[in-house]
Amino acid sequence: MDCPDWVGDLVDFTRAYDDDDARMRLAITLARDNVVHETGGPFGAAIFQARTGVLVGVGVNRVVPLHNSVLHAEVVAIMMAEARVGSYSLGEPTAHELFTSCEPCSMCLGAAFWSGVRRIVWGATRDDAFQLSFDEGPVFPESYAYLRKRGMSFRAGLLRDEARAVFELYQGGGGEIYNG
Amino acid sequence: MDCPDWVGDLVDFTRAYDDDDARMRLAITLARDNVVHETGGPFGAAIFQARTGVLVGVGVNRVVPLHNSVLHAEVVAIMMAEARVGSYSLGEPTAHELFTSCEPCSMCLGAAFWSGVRRIVWGATRDDAFQLSFDEGPVFPESYAYLRKRGMSFRAGLLRDEARAVFELYQGGGGEIYNG
């Protein structure tokens, strides 16, 4: 799909990731390696079957290299997961979860909702992204309340320090901040 | 890109669309033809250079046929426009506008923000979509206030009756409502 070539060497779609920490660590590794390889912004995401932990899709930010503002890590992961599953729904019959190195922006939160994933877990927070000068768009406490009412759940700040360290790596390397 | 083949016969990227009505009518025509050809949901979108009215990108909803929940009309139009312009920004150096047959859902409002389009004009409203049982996601009056502060502007309900008629056509044909 839209992932750079090195992603194929990193990920293993045959293995299961047993717990939240292991799943988040993959998302953060994708983010860090995307900075190291200079293939996009400091963001990574991965989608798993909720119950088994089997990996279904991954994504990294590809906005600048592919001239495409839609290609945030979460969107890339959702599109790959749906292509691999062969369905526009990651909610039924198998419940999936999205792990992302940073709290989703307004577009990605909406994309996750439409994808049907039942749970989102993130590392760095909206405030961390703003400190890096990335705008996260119109997401409010009511946004999460709206989605909770529709059956989604959220876990914030898992391995936050490791996720933030990727932002520092990006900033230290002079990475492009590409808000319009 | 992700548009069905008939779109190539309909659109003309060499002509200018002089005013809001002409630009909206193209978005609604795309929505209607997408229902008639049974190539996706009842939504269409088009992106123009704001000053000249030159058409830069178009999109129709492709969720069900392409098994991809991200491919709303607005997202397809944004990706096509950025590919044609060769940039992840539709804000500078040339200001662009997004015309869409229905008020953008939360994902598409975020996608429009990230694309840099300066203005969004829509036909049918969020309430009209809800009546068709399409959930539009967490968009609030504060969402628009947030985006206005960052320089975006909005026009709601242009040719709303014509846009709503496409929903009725879709509903009458037994079109799939694909909320997760």
Per-residue pLDDT of chain A (180 residues; tens, 9 = 90+): 689 999 999 999 998 999 999 999 999 999 999 999 999 999 999 999 999 999 999 999 999 999 999 999 999 999 999 999 999 999 989 999 999 999 999 999 999 999 999 999 999 999 999 998 889 999 999 999 999 999 999 999 999 999 999 999 999 887 777 654
Q: Do A107 and B114 touch (CB under 8 A)?
A: yes
Q: Please compute Rg for chain B using Cα positions.
A: 15
For chains A and B, count residue pairs whose Cβ atoms are closer than 8 Å.
Answer: 146
**Residue where the block lists tokens 């944004």:** B78
Amino acid identity, position B175? G
pLDDT tens digit string along B23-77? 999 999 999 999 999 999 999 999 999 999 999 999 999 999 999 999 999 999 9
Place of tokens 């996260």: A136
* Residue whose C-alpha is closest to residue A82's, from B64, B96, B124, B43: B64
Which residues is A16 bridged to in the sheet?
A54
User: Which DSSP category does A177 fall into?
Assistant: P
Beta bridge partners of A99: A46, A121
Residue contact B140–A140, C-beta within 8 A: yes
Please indicate if any CB of chain A lies within 8 Å of the CB of B42: no
Answer for the pair A154, A134: CB distance below 8 angstroms, yes or no: no
Residues in Cβ contact with A155 at an 8 Å cutoff, skipping those fewer than 6 apart: A20, A119, A120, A121, A122
Which region, left, alpha or beta, applies to residue B48 given φ > 0 means left and ψ of -120 to 50 means alpha?
beta
Give the one of A88, A90, A147 whose C-beta lies nearest to B63's C-beta: A88
Of A107, A142, A146, the CB nearest to B107: A107
Say yes or no for a CB contact (<8 Å) between A138 and B142: yes
Confidence of residue B133 (pLDDT cuts 50, 70, 90): confident
Do residue A116 and residue B180 have CB atoms under 8 angstroms apart?
A: yes
* Pick among A43, A114, A146 to test the B interface (most B CBs inside 10 A): A114
Strand A153-155 to B44-49 pairing: unpaired
Residue of A nearest to B134 (CA): A114
Residue B154 in contact with partner chain A when CB distance is under 8 A: no
Identify the band that residue B180 occupies on the pLDDT scale cut at 50, 70 and 90.
very low
Question: Could you give the CA distance from residue B146 to residue B56 in angstroms, rounded to a whole number?
Answer: 26
Q: Please tell me the distance from the alpha carbon of residue B57 to that of residue B45, in angstroms, as a whole number.
A: 8
CA distance linking residue A157 with residue A122, whole number of Å:
6
C-alpha to C-alpha distance for A62 and B175, rounded to whole angstroms:
34
Question: Nearest CA of chain A to the CA of B56: how many Å?
Answer: 14
Residues in CB range of B121: below 8 A, 6 or more apart? B20, B23, B24, B97, B98, B99, B100, B154, B155, B158
The token duo for A1 is 């799909």
Do residues A14 and A148 make contact, with C-beta atoms less than 8 angstroms apart?
A: no
Query: What are residue B120's DSSP bridge partners?
Result: B98, B154
Known catalytic membership, residue A142: no
Question: Could you report the per-residue pLDDT of B1-12, keeping only the tens digit for each?
Answer: 689 999 999 999
- Compute the nearest-CA separation of A55 from chain B (Å): 18
Q: For strands B96-102 and A55-60, give the pairing.
A: unpaired
H or E segment and range at residue B74: helix B73-85
CA distances from residue B178 to A89, A116, B68, B90, B133 in whole angstroms, order as listed? 9, 10, 11, 30, 9
Tell me the per-residue pLDDT of B83-128, one tens digit each, with 9 for 90 and over. Answer: 999 999 999 899 999 999 999 999 999 999 999 999 999 999 999 9
